[in-house]
A and B are shown apart, each in its own frame.
Chain A
Amino acid sequence: MVAVAKKWEYVIKVDKKPVWRGMDPKQKFEELKRKNPGKRVSIGWETREDVLVCP
């Protein structure tokens, strides 16, 4: 089997500071929400530098 290089990742931020990167964010997002009451916990999606975006 040929390994496919990761071309994207999710980023979770707490008060705009990145605290987690990875491919399966759901459990981590809920955990960080619980651990950071009152703070802005946000989620984003980023590509690697060798990828151009043309949806």
Chain B
Amino acid sequence: MPVKYPYLEKRSKILGRVKRPLVPIEIEGKGRWIPVDEVLVDTGADISLLPRSIGELAVGDIAKGKYVEIKGVVPSAVLVAFVHNMRLRVAGRVFETKVGIADSNDIPPILGRFKSLDLFGVEFRKGREMTFEG
């Protein structure tokens, strides 16, 4: 059954108001599910990503994951992250995937494509809402 999420409106000093495709998810770690609010749905991201402190709540020592360097739009910056196998719950569906946990708190939680968004049919409707199906 499709699950709809309205875009969430935020105030912006540059744009006035900005609507972002943000969804709630849950991540499994240490034998429990941790709800994570306002995760950015980013079809441009190869992999899902968590900021350091949220990752540590789930896995403890993030450096036990596989070292990876992640490149975004900032020309000079490379983000170091550690990739972990994790279970996520998104739109009522539980699945295992690889998640990068950043060695930084200065990044938003991101729901990326690999074995995450690619598991769903996701429709973005006119900057107002998303529908997850599958």
Contacts and interface: CB of A to CB of B under 8 A. Distances in A.
Interface string A2-32: 0000011011010000000001111001100
Contact of A53 (B36, B37, B108): B108
Interface in B1-45: 10-15, 18, 20, 24, 34-38, 40, 42, 44-45
Nearest to A18: B37
Instruction: Specify the main secondary structure of chain B where it touches its partner.
Output: mixed
Contacts, number: 71
Interface residues of A, number: 25
Contacts of A55: 40, 42, 44-45, 49, 72-73, 107-108, 110
A17 B105 CA distance: 22
Nearest to B110: A55
B18 A42 contact: no
A50 B10 CA distance: 11
Contacts of A7: 106
Given A44-B36, A44-B38, A45-B108, A53 B54 contact: no
Interface residues of B, number: 32
Contacts of B49: 55
A33 B51 CA distance: 20
A37 B45 CA distance: 35
Contact of A42 (B12, B35, B56): B35
Interface of B: 10-15, 18, 20, 24, 34-38, 40, 42, 44-45, 49, 51, 53-54, 56-57, 72-73, 105-110
